[in-house]
Structure 1
Amino acid sequence: MYLGIIATLAYGILAITGGIIGYIQANSQVSLISGSISGLLLIFAAYFQLQGQPWALILAVLVTSVLVVVFAFRLIKTRKFMPAGLMTILGMLTLAVMLNQIVVLR
């Protein structure tokens, strides 16, 4: 059960870090804002999963799914592995861990 929480927290931290790096390298305020919001939502979801709130796992799955779709489209558009490819792969791994947690909870 804790592996899903750790994956959620790690992906949230990675989203925030990526947003900061995108802002520093490309002066992209969109990267900073979207990375911060999605990362904070994931950290928020991880915290409430630790508190035993079942809706937090649903929030984490939704936010991660949206990020995977966004980064997959960005990868198709730019054909650059960094950061879109890495975030897509890590997001799919995170989703796999979360969905496994849902199956185990049933």
Structure 2
Amino acid sequence: MNLSIIAAFAYGILAIAGGIMGYIQARSKVSLLSGSISGLLLLLAAYFQLQGQSWGSILAVIVTGVLVVVFAVRLAKTRKFMPAGLMTILGILALGVMVRN
């Protein structure tokens, strides 16, 4: 298992957990839905990478890239580090690992 798979899996878990936390704290159904969908897509991407499917890594890069942009825009609007800043930084790191491997 390479680092790209681990990065996709870990960021997917974080996306799902963040969506759940957004729902618990602010009753945001949008956070729950978007976190769940993007997290599940990243978990599927990691699974398909494990199966040797090269498009799994492409899916992981696309989903992570979209999440980085969404969280960066949210950070610029709210100026609050949590959760947008943290997810932006972790997304950039995950994206760097995915692209490098």
TM tier, smaller:
over 0.9
Deviations 1:19-75 (A, max 9, x none): 000000000000000000000000000000000000000000000000000000000
Aligned equivalent of 2:68: 68
Runs of 5+ unmatched residues, structure 1? 102-106
Output the amino acid matched with 2:3. Answer: L
How many residue pairs are counted as aligned between the two chains? 101
**Gaps in structure 2 of 5+ consecutive residues:** none
Structure 2 distance, partners of 1:67, 1:39, is 10
Match of 1:20 in 2: 20
Q: Which residue in the other structure is 1:44 paired with?
A: 44
Question: What amino acid sits opposite 2:90 in the alignment?
Answer: L
Query: Hey, what does 2:93 align to over in structure 1?
Result: 93
Which whole-Å CA distance do the structure 2 matches of 1:85 and 1:55 have between them? 28
The whole-number CA distance in structure 2 between the counterparts of 1:54 and 1:21 is 32
How far apart are the structure 1 equivalents of 2:7 and 2:36?
Answer: 17
Larger RCO: Structure 1 or Structure 2 (Cα < 8 Å, ≥ 6 residues apart)?
A: 2
Q: Which residue of 2 aligns with 1:59?
A: 59
Trace 1:69-84 onto structure 2 (pairs within 5 A): 69-84=69-84
Q: How big is the shift at 1:92?
A: 0.2
TM-score by length of 2: 0.99
